[in-house]
Amino acid sequence: MATPVPVMDDISIAALTADPYPSFRRMREAASAVWVSDARINLVTRFDDIMTVERDHGRFASTNPGSLMNKVMGHSLMRKDDEAHQVERKAIEPSFRPGVVKNHWTPVFDAIADRLIDAFVESGETDLFGSFAAPMASLCLNEMIGFRNVAWQDLAAWSQALMDGVSNYGTVPETATRAAAASDAIDAAIDAVLDRYRDRPDATILSSMLHAEHAHSIEQIRANIKVIIGGGLNEPRDSILTTVYGLLLNPDQRARVEADPKLYRPAFEEAVRWVSPIGMYPRRVTRDTVLGDTALKEGDQLGICVGAANRDQSRFSDPDAYDVFRDRGQHLGFGAGPHFCAGTWVARQMVGEIAVPKLFDRLPNMQLDDDKPARLSGWVFRGPVSLPVRWEV
Ligand code: HEM
């Protein structure tokens, strides 16, 4: 028998931001969906329920006319379903294909990683957040989009301003103003380069959009570039740091991975399960329905907590542990269904084949800095906000 969604009013956003996993466990044990009063949304935290949602976009839509994301970024592919979504998804795919990633983007990413490491390799200590992971993710995305003359710091600031704007729910005027300014700056950066790709197609995302089978309006190009800036930067940054953190916390696993570099890929994949960079994303209930043991109403907003599902004890044994060698089942860190992350192959290559192996290779005997502990934060997006390390020079 389905019951109404239970209310949890003793879970605060502050507690979720500091460490969401104890609260996620309580929610998983309580019901298929729980209303968290402080977050003002129904959260879905069990692995099987999320699979049900992702398999049925008729009942659980991405399209959401009132969404703040549409207001801040324009109407992107992420908030469309069916044909409208597929056309725009297909348009960007040429830049993301495994062959293009391997042959075109790998040398670009390789050079960026080496250049960044060159700048601090002699120092013996650094905070990998600011010196490596943030610029690596931003410089790589800059190249992929096809911008010219955009500083990585600006791209990173635009990304942050957009993400803050999307989760602002209109309450803080300065946040909305900063998001609008970032949106205008991105439009200008697109306008500055678009013409160069009309006659000279290449592997960049702007070029792919311009030469797509179904012509894109400038509004579609702008909205989808903004989604890619919002969603293609923090996640590689955070997964670089989480993979390094997981390996440094577990010396036995690190030794085995260093001895057999093809294990960096599963080390990355396990990091995305363990601390999922996107912890939660939204869906909308299109009609009165039942999900697992709860009854939902048309128009209910759902927060799909893949960060919780990836620690579901019915799916993963010892789910809170970072274990490169666990029995590998599917995780939900890249989402599922039609909106499955378009950048999965890029992230696997950038993080699992280039950024993390290079750090371990070039920073001999890299260790966590005992005097400056790593700090992690967030639940909608989660990752290390500081990762100080030392090595031998
Ligand atoms: C470890 C790195 C990454 C993680 C964990 C990740 C995670 C995700 C997740 C969970 C979604 C689904 C969101 C939803 O359904 O609402 C998604 C979608 C998406 N991601 Fe990623 N992502 C990563 C890297 C990237 C990169 C590097 C790019 C681009 C350069 C990218 C581009 C996209 C796009 C365009 C979508 C929307 C796909 C669609 O709506 O069809 N992602 N990502």
255-268: pLDDT as tens digits = 999 999 999 999 99
- The contacts found for 195-198 with CB under 8 angstroms, 24 or more apart, are 196/148, 197/146
Taking CA atoms only, the protein residue closest to ligand 1 atom 17 is 341
Substitution candidate for ligand 1 out of 80, 92, 235, 331 with most atoms within 8 A of CB: 235
What is the average pLDDT across 240-249? 98
Q: What is the pLDDT of residue 138?
A: 98
State the CATH architecture for 3-390: Orthogonal Bundle (1.10)
Q: What is the dihedral of CA 80, 82, 83, 86, to 10 degrees?
A: 70
Atom of ligand 1 lying closest to residue 350 CA: 27
Atom of ligand 1 lying closest to residue 306 CA: 10
pLDDT at 235 over 60: yes
Q: What is the pLDDT of residue 169?
A: 65
Q: Strands 301-304, 41-44: parallel, antiparallel or unpaired by DSSP?
A: parallel
Q: How confident is the model at residue 170 (pLDDT cuts 50, 70, 90)?
A: low
Atom of ligand 1 lying closest to residue 338 CA: 41
| Residue 233 alpha carbon to ligand 1 centre in Å | 10
Taking CA atoms only, the protein residue closest to ligand 1 atom 30 is 232
Q: For all residues of the chain together, what is the average pLDDT?
A: 95
pLDDT at 1 over 90: no
Taking CA atoms only, the protein residue closest to ligand 1 atom 12 is 335
Count CB atoms within 10 A of the CB of residue 167.
Answer: 12
Task: Give the pocket of ligand 1 (CB within 6 Å).
Answer: 77-78, 89, 141, 144, 227-228, 231-232, 235-236, 239, 272, 277-278, 281, 306, 333-335, 339, 341-343, 346-347
Q: Strands 294-296, 375-377: parallel, antiparallel or unpaired by DSSP?
A: unpaired
| Residue 27 alpha carbon to ligand 1 centre in Å | 25
pLDDT at 195 over 90: yes
Taking CA atoms only, the protein residue closest to ligand 1 atom 21 is 341
| Residue 65 alpha carbon to ligand 1 centre in Å | 21
- Tell me the H-state helices in the chain: 13-18, 21-30, 47-55, 68-73, 82-92, 98-100, 106-120, 128, 134-145, 152-166, 173-199, 205-210, 218-231, 234-249, 251-259, 264-274, 306-309, 344-347, 356-362
Give the pLDDT confidence of 292-316 residue by residue, as tens digits.
999 999 999 999 999 999 999 999 9
Nearest to 104, CA basis, from 345, 362, 351, 355: 345
Measured CA to CA in angstroms, residue 10 lies from 27, 48, 146, 368 at distances of 12, 25, 46, 35
Residue that wins the pLDDT comparison between 125 and 1: 125
Substitution candidate for ligand 1 out of 225, 280, 341 with most atoms within 8 A of CB: 341
DSSP string, 168-221: STT--HHHHHHHHHHHHHHHHHHHHHHHHHHHS--SSHHHHHHT-SSPPPHHHH
Atom of ligand 1 lying closest to residue 337 CA: 15
Give the pLDDT confidence of 335-374 residue by residue, as tens digits.
999 999 999 999 999 999 999 999 999 999 999 999 999 9
